[in-house]
Chain A
Amino acid sequence: MSEILRYLKRERRSMQFRMSLYLLLMLFLAFMTFVFLGIAFGFFSLTEDRLYEGMEQQLRLLTDEMRDELGRMEGYAHTLSGRLGSSVEDCVGEYSTEISKLNNQPDKLLELQEEFYPELSSILQLSRGSGIYAVIDATTNTEAPGAEKSRSGVYLRLYNIAADYSLNPKFTCFRGIPELAREYRVELHNRWNMEFDTTSLPGFRLFSGKHYDKASEAGFWSNRLDLPDTWEEILLYSVPILGSDGRVYGECGIEMNELLFQMRHMVYANRSGSMIFVIAPLSERRLRMDLGLAGKMEGSSVRTDEALRIGRKGRFFRYYSEGQSFLGVQAPLPMRGEPGQSWEAAVLMPQSVYSDYVVFHRIRWTLAAAVLLILMGIAAFFLSRSYVLPIRNSLDAFRNGGDPALESGIPEIEELLHFVDQKLKEASIEREGIPLKIAELFDAFEERVGRLTAAEYAVFSHYVRGYDIPELPGLLYISINTVRKHNRSIYEKLNVASKDELMVYVELFRRCGRLEKLLTPKKHQVYDK
């Protein structure tokens, strides 16, 4: 800054240039003040816009991933349905069989499950679900308590749920005949049961007794279910197992559990803070989180025991319930849910996190604007001072009788002061009654006297006072040769041929009362003491 100021001071800048510079500075100051106030009071929403775009981007990516995953699972479930239908008919030995023929035939049911197992295990690996199941409308023992809702089948689940895809996953048998699990060296799940409870199967009652042309026309995703006796929550894609004539033998499907969803569909780490990806059915302006799945991210989670009401806040959707509030964006998910349901995918951010983020950035921008404003204020202060200073110096010099033009770096001021000086001089001369030509002659002579060195001026001043050449060595402590040398220089600089001509000038000054002018040395003509 000081360098700039020095440079500006050194350089001769016109008044117009300086005025333009200061005007620009003022305009910039005014603009920054406007920006500062705008940011401080939230008139600008740059942060909000960036956040919104970030969330939209996350939503697009996650929804695309989700679509791929759902499509893969659904496709494999349809394939599975076709293969299992053939297995049933192969096992019974006839087409379009009455599946109830398998009731009370544990050996036949085991044989069927042995047929099912390879299909189930390979499709579980390919579909990348967390579990797979197939259940038929027959039971081991129709006399057993609860037999009316107990049906035979196999349910395999991944032993380890992990985000990474394992080439050789281990399974656990959640439902199925223990002998099957032992045969394939699969551990029984800790909450194993031999058969399915059909009341916990989303499609069993729906498909029962119906005919379908294709399994895909009946397939649907269940709402979130609790896996009995475990800590896990799941979604099931259910399709009917169809016979050759389209009759329903049972149900099969693929499971996506909540942990798998959370691991596979995590919001990418970003600077904005915690965001959560959720999928849930939409009904009556509510996001049914009580029926959907929610992801997790550091420090944030969404409660999945209640629906969230949906409102608007600017460009965002607002999701809220008693005790929780989120902002987010949402998009429809091509997911066939239970009858009358449409599913949505959404990226949510807790409103508190959103507010913290926005306020933080607003504070940061406000502070940055404030600092810039203050810096500009300081710059304005110093620049204006340096603007005024040369003018004041010129005035001081003018006041003290010096040459004002030499003190200022502003041509307009210099010209003005020079002009005023000239006018004052002319006025003074005319007031003293000296003809103008003579006055000019005096001025020229005075100016030439100003060019003498200190030593020359010392000799000259003695002549003015009336001393003669021979007296000077004694007075000035110099040799006569030195006096002569100075005399030559004096004559040359004053443009006179001899001492007599010089003395004529001195006499003229005396007579005009201006002798004092010759006896007032310039700065450089005074010896330092």
Chain B
Amino acid sequence: MGGRRTCAAVLGFLLLLSGFIVFQSCRRRKETVTLSVWHVYGGQTDSPLSPLIEEFNATEGKKRGIHIRVVAVSNTNTIHEEILSAIRQEPGAPSAPDLFVSYPKTVLALPDPSVLVDYRDYFSEEELKRYIPEFIEEGTVDGRFVVFPVAKSTEILFVNKTAFDAFSKDSGATLEDLSSWEGIFRLSKLYHEWSDQRTPEKEGDGKCFFTHDYLFNYLQVGAESLGAQFFEGDGIRFDENFRRVWDAYADAAIRGGIWLREGYATEPLRTGDVIVSVASSASVLYYKDEVTYEDNTSEPVEIISRPCPVFSDGEKLVMQRGAGFCTFRSTKEREKAAAHFLRWLTDPERNVRFVTSVGYMPVTKEAFDKELSAAVEKLSSPKYRSLYEALLETQRDYRFYTAPKLPSYLELEMNTEKYMRSELSRAEEQYRMKKEEAEDPEALIGELAEEAADRFQKHVQ
């Protein structure tokens, strides 16, 4: 009997030891899941997402064995190109990350969108109900929820108020004039003439007043706000509404009041080449409170924000913008980790903290209803305070427009940006060359605008 007891005790002890060893080994083997990220929040400036990612890695990520590694901070266009070249495995293409920030247009351009995770596999319906439905809808492509919203933006009018005040003092222009496209285009012509007259010794050096970051958005939101249909099938509907929107812009551009060169709106505002722009609310991060002129002198300026202009007889409609996070399919463990990070990032309090530092809007109902107004009140930067006042006004008075998910959307957008700028630049140059000899400069502008529209139509059709 004694021998059996001893044997049982020894075996029990051995079993315990084995269990402990297995437990120790398993605990050791549970390796951290590292997810690489390409994002756009901050670009070349101090990225506000980076400290949040650090916070995640140090807290929740550490607890759950998830590590987020930012491998590129860029913009959506560059990410779009790099993702496509990575997917196509082009020579010299980078390795695709686990998570990347993109618009649905990038998803539509993918050869096989099923390479992306459908977030419905990792978020319950109950969870998704907490998000703004339009944002979920925007991220859904072919019935699969593949672009997860973490921050949404809209288009906002940015004004170099210091320069505008100087102009308004002489011209009588008011900030109210900036509420409509008609007002903007009228002031554009006025500003070009006014700035030209300021240096009588130098003729023809009138400056541009305005620039738009996304001409394609101007055209489609403009046409839709007039009750018209902008798209027809896979292309653009070139009808009288289109022409009205086109002509308004072309008129001001041909007269030299609109900046037509490529690049973001922040650039000419930074160099004093324009004083008003329409851009994503998120571009607030890139506006510097200083303008550097071509003679290398700098001037501190005040940048303010206003809701995006509309046509005076049109609906108050504004483009809903803001990319979301896409996740490449991999293992269940990695996909779950990515979903967990996004869930953490969109927690209402944290989401508002993040979006108010980058000029975005939060994505959950709770964040919008409860957290945002309180957070805006705490903002110390006048530039950000002005932006959020404009955003709240936009949210109150405007209807958000979501672009349709057409397979040809990206191509139409790229062609519009390219050819509208090039054709209007060409028309503007012709006007500069011919206006002195023209019998009726106004008629010449009309002809050039029409010719530019026709040439544009040929390019994009």
Contact = CB atoms under 8 A, between A and B. Distances in A.
A77 to B, nearest CB: 23
B34 interface: yes
A193 B291 CA distance: 9
A299 interface: yes
Interface of B: 10, 13-14, 17-18, 20-21, 24-25, 28, 32, 34, 42-47, 50, 57, 62, 67, 69, 71-74, 78, 82, 91-95, 261-264, 266-267, 270-271, 273, 285-286, 288, 292, 294-298
Contacts of A230: 44-46
A191 B45 contact: yes
A188 B270 contact: yes
B45 to A, nearest CB: 5
Interface string A142-172: 0011010010000001011111111110101
Given A159-B78, A160-B78, A364-B21, A374 B264 contact: no
A144 B297 contact: yes
B71 A163 contact: yes
A189 interface: yes
Contacts of A157: 44
A408 B411 CA distance: 97
A90 B95 CA distance: 43
23 contacts: A106-B294, A140-B296, A141-B295, A159-B78, A160-B74, A161-B73, A163-B94, A164-B94, A164-B95, A182-B262, A187-B263, A188-B263, A188-B267, A189-B44, A190-B44, A230-B44, A231-B45, A231-B47, A298-B67, A363-B24, A364-B25, A371-B21, A374-B17
A178 interface: yes
Given A182-B263, A371-B18, A374-B13, 13 more contacts: A106-B295, A144-B296, A163-B71, A182-B262, A185-B262, A187-B264, A188-B263, A190-B266, A231-B47, A232-B44, A298-B32, A374-B10, A377-B10
B261 A182 contact: yes
A166 B67 contact: no
Contacts of B94: 160, 162-164, 166
A139 B296 contact: yes
B17 A370 contact: yes
Contacts of B13: 374
A230 to B, nearest CB: 6
Given A230-B45, A298-B67, A374-B10, A166 B92 contact: yes
Contacts of B43: 190
A378 interface: yes
A162 B72 contact: yes
B440 to A, nearest CB: 33
A504 B264 CA distance: 136
Contacts of A163: 71, 94-95
Contacts of A445: none
A377 B73 CA distance: 62
Contacts of A182: 261-263
A229 interface: yes
B263 A140 contact: no
A417 to B, nearest CB: 27
Interface string A179-219: 00010010111111111000000000000000000000000
A15 interface: no
